[in-house]
Chain A
């Protein structure tokens, strides 16, 4: 049968604004969460990670928040720049014997207008 394409959520912001990208994860046993950025024609690039025993972690211009109660992850990008335009994925790792296995969310398209 015909496959239905994923309709990725989109977020459109102005340069200099703050961006918030959300992700709902599926496995309550997941121990490790990562945000990736994927630009056109490239593989996913690591942005920031967070362990399940934390609820917030900050990097350069980025902050990740983890709410295990509702299985929700968010990525905040401060002072968004045109170079931040890309597809953003959250990924979870359940740990155990599955260290090399990441489960990805559907992705969010971020467009930054100059």
Chain B
């Protein structure tokens, strides 16, 4: 069974631009969560989607948004990029939102903002 895939793996943007990152969950998984990983703040939760609906949101500005499609694939978008948005963006999928279900992480998208 294929794991979580994220595209692109690497991305370089300039301040003020916007970016869209894509995540394909493990086949059959319907819940997708996004995390930001930086040296300064560590791993921080961005948001979670299930059945095309955002279930939870972390403490990030409105420039960060996401969506989920009917096939469970998810995208996240960051508008008006800032230097501080440079990070590894990780997507994780889960069979369904349940307390003891394991989250499986993708390899991440490394975003560099110049």
Contact = CB atoms under 8 A, between A and B. Distances in A.
A6 B97 contact: no
A80 B106 CA distance: 25
A43 B102 contact: no
B4 A43 contact: yes
Given A103-B45, A107-B43, 15 more contacts: A3-B84, A6-B39, A43-B106, A43-B108, A44-B43, A97-B56, A99-B101, A100-B33, A100-B55, A100-B56, A100-B92, A101-B56, A102-B33, A102-B35, A104-B35
Interface of A: 3-6, 31-32, 34, 36, 41-46, 49, 51, 89, 91, 93, 95, 97-107
Interface of B: 4, 31-33, 35, 38-45, 48, 50, 55-56, 58, 84, 90, 92, 94, 97-108
